[in-house]
Structure 1
Amino acid sequence: MASIRKISLGVLIGLLSISNVAVYAQKEKKAKSVVPATTTGLQNREYWCDLLYKIASPVIFNLANSTLKQNMPVEVPPGQKQDFFKKVTYLEAVGRTMAGVAPWLALPDDVTKEGKMRKELRTALLKGIANAVDPNNPDYLNFRTESQPIVDAAYMAQAFLRAPKALWEPLDSLTKKRIAQEFKALRTRTGAYNNWLLFAGINEAFLMTIGEQADPVRIEFARRKILEWYQGDGWYSDGPSLSIDYYNSYVIHPMLVDFFKVLTDKRRLNVEEYDKAVKRMVRYSEFSERIISPEGTYPPMGRSVTYRTAAFQALGQVALMEKLPEQIEPAQVRCALTAVMHRMYDQGQNFDRNGWLILGFCGSQPMIADGYTSTGSLYMATLGFLPLGLPADNKFWTDPATDWTSKKAWNGQPFKKDYHVDY
């Protein structure tokens, strides 16, 4: 039965990718691509930096100025009311943005344009984090009610784990104490029986790293269930049932690997289990790279497609860890992701007039937003930018432009055959 599941899943993903390519190939005959001609890796990096700065800065600068709740719009799906979302959407925006920018902000200061951008964002974010946990601040964020904060505290925790020297250590002692209190307050609630278990687990793991007493039950339950839900060939089900969507990238692989890294460092998990989680994420990243069409599109399938470039968090994290499979060159990942970003963001249709992300996949498409989605949710998109944590002199950025797998395949070039794996 397991082998049948592997085969059917692989066939489905392949058909989706082929269909996606065919549709856009027809469109390309009629419309000029928005993807520019070949550029250098450093030009690609400048584009990524400018785009991430554009996406993240409204959240970070408003939080630093105590004007996030005042200025951030709260767009909700048709038929939904804003009242509930205003309790949770601001922490969503902050936690998710932090997790996406953390590797980039962890790079050392320098005098380049990019270095100045990083320093500006990091300085503002540190001020904003203090505001977020200050009960007397207008932008004091809600960790205390509703279940949703379990999720977005977890992305904040992931940011601290990804960039401890940049985002945790510089905080003053009172802010650190307040953050710990807010995280411990999350224990009064539970969430869904699916990827949410990882959120509770990584929140506890983060507390462990800052010297607080962690809840071993939440940690062990998350570890056991996620491993039980592994389906094979790099895919986890999201809970007991398999879902064909991007949650393996939005949450499961990156957060499980970061979670297991803490447990391994704290001698709560053997290194072999961590290594297996990494190998599975590497395998999943092969699928992620292959579904990017020659034109820089990918299938808008499953839940939460409004998270946009977060669909490639796992691929980006594997690149950031410099663990790409041997047959995937760093430059081909850079070029593929750059093509996706140009396709999705260059027309400006994903932002309102003040620079906030809007509900949709590629434009204003509020009808496709899930019932749990609001403006803050959309900042998952920053998770697609993790390779910016690699310095500018890394081969990811310096190697010559290289075609990615689907571009090679559809242009008659040699490309690697794909087979399932058993780990």
Structure 2
Amino acid sequence: MSSPLRLPPADPHLSGFTGWTRAHWESVADHLLDSVVPYATDGFAQYRLPGRASRSGVVSDGLEGFARTFLLAAFRIAGAGGDVPPALLERYAAGLVAGTDPAHPYAWPPLTDMSQPLVEAASIALALHETRPWLFDRLSPAQRERVVAWLAGFVGRRTPDNNWVLFQVVVEQFLAEVGGPHDPAEIAGGLERIEEWYVGDGWYSDGKGKNFDYYSGWAMHLYPSLWARMAGDSARGRLYADRLHRFLGHYQHLFAADGGPVHQGRSLIYRFATVAPLWLGALTGASPLPPGRTRRIASGVLRHFAERGAPDGRGLLTCGWYDAFPPGTQDYSGPASPYWASKAFLGLLLPPEHPAWTDGEAAAPVDLADQVVAMPEPGWLLHATREDGVVRLVNHGSDRDRVQDPAGPPDPHYLRLAYTSHTGPDIGEEAVDGQLAVVSPQGATSRRRVIEPLAAGGRFAASAYRDGPVRVVTASVVDGAAEIRIHQVTAPAGHLVRDGGHAPAGPEAPETRSGDTWALARRADGLTSVMRGLHGYTGAGVASAHGVNAFGPHSATPYLTRDAHPGGTAVYVSLVVLTAGEREPAAPEVRVRGDEVTLVPPGGEPITVRFGAEHVTVSSRGEPASRSGPPATAAPAGEGGSATSAVVRAADRIARHNRDDQEKS
């Protein structure tokens, strides 16, 4: 059992929002590193942590435990200029020697095509680069040769066609650095491969398709920038810095005032790795954020998890969000997989005198005002409220369709209509949150599996999906804590239409209430999810569940229904709210005339949404409809963030590719 996490006193003068300083980061790093020691094998080559083995087996999992904690140790060692307890250096030096000795009982598995050890080799290579004066260079010539020989197993290996190509890039770059075997064409090829996945304005898809999630930051930006740092390639470094600069302008908004990241995408067990691109921006000089804002957001995230049970009482990171949560864990993840969270400690490479550590914390955008941010590249529309610090992400673009089994269930971490910093999706076939589903009289439920993005600009976003005879076009207009959803549903007569809201979850069952066309679920801390039918719905209810949500064992989702769709095409309008504020947002007046819907907010200008054969348009304040302009930057609500006129025609549909590609990391 690890000793409890001990932190230095808070510094409210330097860090007025979080109280955390560099010393807090070092304390958490030391606690994490000390806590895994009891699980080391003889010779420290592997760390076999408790928990369910991954599909790669316990030996690969043990290597993962070494590699991912070594990355954390490397940032700690390099950030301190080697001035760390000698035992830390000795452990990882011993592990390098034992792991690369084929005769050792806990030797590392070889690097083979498409295998998980390829991922871990990248962490080892980066860690060796950062700690070279204190570790690699102090090994004997024979020991260095063995380390090089093991890493050289990456040369010529096949990887999945996604972020994995970058693991080869950094491993072979380290090999080049120490005079080992490498193929310059493979380094160049990996860097060129990601150019096909760059979609603009700082955003990468993780491979082909529309795979937008945190991998854009902690992988697609991280590895190329660190490679440029290793290689001294200033030209590519400037290219990656420019993209990172653009990306961080959007990315900074994905974190709640209390530090909670928006809960979307896979590999969420990496938790505070979400802040890695923020530190990367400071490290490379690419960040548009004031240095104090970088630390305010990053420290807020680390503190958020530390205060909610991650690491746990043993000092370990479990496969979950706060507590362990097996239903939300991918099968490629083993007990040590969460230690990709080590990337969060990249900021320790900044010297203690860097402004990111010495400047006073500066407010995050959500600290200052309500925010509305359109992100056209991933098809996202973000709205955050200062009153409660909650961030909500409306999803009209990211679906990972190319890697989903067409016969399997849709991925709840990509296909919901909305995600937030305070709720997660329920997992399972019975889940109703964040979905507009059409249910046949026989019980067959339509699934939003392949999203057709249509729009994201101003306060408006839209998309469509088709499932057999059902087609649904959804437009979202956001206003403060509210999302107004307008669905154009085409389906056979007699089908039930159901629209689900957010699913608050916690240790106790949320309070639930409902009326004719409204329903709510309220968590004990006051977080409230509300659905109100504004047009077309005839019923409402709350779906309660147990053991299916990463935020707690008890969850509840309010939903609306139309018991019998009239057949053909009809319009449904709902008010979707998640708030921890004192008041529920007021509902707009709704006027529906065929395929035209006008929303009249209390005291506001009318907003009109029109559904055409191949496009959706939105207009307000009497302006003529026009094509959307450049991607929106963050705008405080009421300061350029209104629903300005836009016509957004359907984006080119992205073809599905390579469903059988492996997705591990």
Same fold per superposition (TM over 0.5): yes
Matching residue of 1:334: 295
The 5 Å alignment of 1:288-367 reads 288-325=251-288, 328-351=289-312, 353-367=313-327
Name whichever of 284-293 and 333-342 sits farther off: 284-293
- C-alpha distance after superposition, 1:326-348 (max 9, x if no partner): xx211121121111111112233
Matching residue of 1:40: 14
Query: Post-superposition shift, 1:47?
Result: 1.4
Would you say 1:140 and 2:107 are equivalent positions?
Answer: yes
SS at match of 1:287: helix
Would you say 1:280 and 2:248 are equivalent positions?
Answer: no
Name whichever of 209-218 and 37-46 sits farther off: 37-46
1: CA distance, partners of 2:90 / 2:238: 35
Q: Report if aligned partners of 2:296, 2:363 keep a CA contact under 8 Å in 1.
A: yes
- C-alpha distance after superposition, 1:366-421 (max 9, x if no partner): 11001111112111011111112223232222222321122122459xxxx8279x
Would you say 1:85 and 2:57 are equivalent positions?
Answer: yes
2: CA distance, partners of 1:109 / 1:65: 28
From the two aligned structures, give the one with the greater helix fraction. 1
Query: Post-superposition shift, 1:210?
Result: 0.7
User: Match of 1:66, as an amino acid?
Assistant: G
Task: Identify the match of residue 165 of structure 1 among 129, 133, 149.
Answer: 133
Structure 1 gap segments, 5+ residues each: 1-35, 77-81
Query: Post-superposition shift, 1:173?
Result: 1.7
Change in 2 beyond 3 A, CA 1:379/1:292:
same
Change in 2 beyond 3 A, CA 1:281/1:59:
farther
Matching residue of 2:214: 246
Q: Report if aligned partners of 1:69, 1:138 keep a CA contact under 8 Å in 2.
A: no
Q: Report if aligned partners of 2:244, 2:287 keep a CA contact under 8 Å in 1.
A: no
Query: Post-superposition shift, 1:253?
Result: 0.8
User: Match of 1:403, as an amino acid?
Assistant: A
Q: Report if aligned partners of 2:259, 2:300 keep a CA contact under 8 Å in 1.
A: yes
User: Match of 1:156, as an amino acid?
Assistant: I
Q: Report if aligned partners of 1:95, 1:156 keep a CA contact under 8 Å in 2.
A: yes
Q: Report if aligned partners of 1:100, 1:383 keep a CA contact under 8 Å in 2.
A: yes
Would you say 1:385 and 2:345 are equivalent positions?
Answer: yes
Q: Report if aligned partners of 1:67, 1:138 keep a CA contact under 8 Å in 2.
A: no
- RCO comparison, higher one (Cα < 8 Å, 6+): 1
The 5 Å alignment of 1:15-414 reads 38=12, 40-41=14-15, 43-59=20-36, 63=40, 66=43, 69=46, 72-76=49-53, 84-108=56-80, 115-117=83-85, 119-145=86-112, 147-187=115-155, 189-263=157-231, 265=232, 271-325=234-288, 328-351=289-312, 353-410=313-370, 411=386
Change in 2 beyond 3 A, CA 1:225/1:361:
same
Query: Post-superposition shift, 1:71?
Result: 5.2
Pairwise CA RMSD of aligned residues? 2.8
Q: Report if aligned partners of 1:91, 1:153 keep a CA contact under 8 Å in 2.
A: no
User: Match of 1:137, as an amino acid?
Assistant: H
Q: Report if aligned partners of 1:245, 1:301 keep a CA contact under 8 Å in 2.
A: yes
Counting aligned pairs with the same residue, the percent is: 25
TM-score normalized by the length of structure 2:
0.51
SS at match of 1:231: strand
Name whichever of 94-103 and 273-282 sits farther off: 94-103
User: Match of 1:256, as an amino acid?
Assistant: P
SS at match of 2:199: strand
2: CA distance, partners of 1:317 / 1:253: 9
Structure 2 gap segments, 5+ residues each: 1-9, 371-385, 388-631, 636-665
2: CA distance, partners of 1:139 / 1:59: 17
The 5 Å alignment of 1:408-423 reads 408-410=368-370, 411=386, 418=633
Query: Post-superposition shift, 1:296?
Result: 1.1
Change in 2 beyond 3 A, CA 1:185/1:213:
closer
1: CA distance, partners of 2:311 / 2:80: 31
SS at match of 1:164: coil
2: CA distance, partners of 1:63 / 1:167: 19
From the two aligned structures, give the one with the greater strand fraction. 2
Query: Post-superposition shift, 1:67?
Result: 5.4
- C-alpha distance after superposition, 1:114-144 (max 9, x if no partner): x545x54234322322222223434322234
Name whichever of 177-186 and 315-324 sits farther off: 315-324
2: CA distance, partners of 1:402 / 1:261: 28
User: Match of 1:184, as an amino acid?
Assistant: A
Query: Post-superposition shift, 1:65?
Result: 5.3
Query: Post-superposition shift, 1:250?
Result: 2.3
Report the number of matched residues.
363
Q: Report if aligned partners of 1:95, 1:155 keep a CA contact under 8 Å in 2.
A: yes
Change in 2 beyond 3 A, CA 1:396/1:329:
same
2: CA distance, partners of 1:209 / 1:149: 21
Larger Rg: 2
Query: Post-superposition shift, 1:320?
Result: 2.6
Q: Report if aligned partners of 1:75, 1:358 keep a CA contact under 8 Å in 2.
A: no
1: CA distance, partners of 2:55 / 2:634: 49
Query: Post-superposition shift, 1:58?
Result: 3.7
User: Match of 1:185, as an amino acid?
Assistant: G
Matching residue of 1:13: none
Q: Report if aligned partners of 2:63, 2:117 keep a CA contact under 8 Å in 1.
A: yes
Query: Post-superposition shift, 1:189?
Result: 3.8
Change in 2 beyond 3 A, CA 1:419/1:293:
closer
